[in-house]
Amino acid sequence: MQKQQIIDALRNNHELFISYLAQLNNQDFVAERNEKWTAAQQLEHIIRSVKPLNQGLMLPAFMLKLFFGKANRPSKNYDELVAKYNRKLTEGGKATAAFIPPKITTSKKERLLRELNNRAGKLCRQVNGFSEAQLDNIITPHPLLGKVTLREMLYFTAYHVLHHKALIEKNLLPAG
């Protein structure tokens, strides 16, 4: 994907997630089933995932290279990155402590939806400030995937929100 396609995927996937959660009733928003995170906790997890990426992208490209280094391989494509992430999950990969959400009440729903919308919008604007070459040359750490290029991190972020939407949908299916 080229930069504009990545921005469009980030925007569209986050909007889809937000609109899906917005239409959930309060009971489904905080429903605890199958010892899985509630929809509210999934929302908080996505916010916690986007926040450090936004913070990192506020730095100039040369600072990111200084902190994390430069890629020594080409970026994986979207499908390869998604396959790697799913393989890591299958191998037992889990969210690290910083990304594990606490219990969330329905009273926080609107605020959290607005927060994710704002963070996703900011992310899209920040990606615009990087060149295609920088997306492939700058590396950044991912807690499960290890060192990934910035392009791969953005692929992950676009996929990650859809992955968690699917988890919510599965969790809210009627038993049986």
The confidence score (pLDDT) of residue 152 equals 98
**Whole-angstrom distance, CA of residue 131 vs CA of residue 127:** 9
List the chain residues with pLDDT less than 70. Answer: 175-176
CB atoms within 10 A of CB 85: 21
155: left (phi over 0), alpha (psi -120 to 50) or beta: alpha
pLDDT in tens, 131-143: 999 999 999 999 9
Q: What is the pLDDT of residue 174?
A: 77
Options 3.30.2230.10, 3.30.450.20, 1.10.3720.10, 1.20.120.450; CATH of 3-171: 1.20.120.450
d(CA 44, CA 58): 21
Distance of CA 110 to the CA centre of its chain: 19
pLDDT in tens, 106-115: 999 999 999 9
Tell me whether residue 45 is exposed, middle or buried, using C-beta atoms within 10 angstroms of its C-beta: 0 to 12, 13 to 18, 19 or more: buried
The DSSP secondary-structure symbol of 34 reads T
CA-based nearest residue to 48, from 157, 170, 128: 157
Q: So what's the pLDDT on residue 144?
A: 95
Domain edges within the chain: 3-171
Element at 61 (helix H, strand E): helix 61-68
Rg (CA), the chain: 16
Q: pLDDT value at position 89?
A: 96
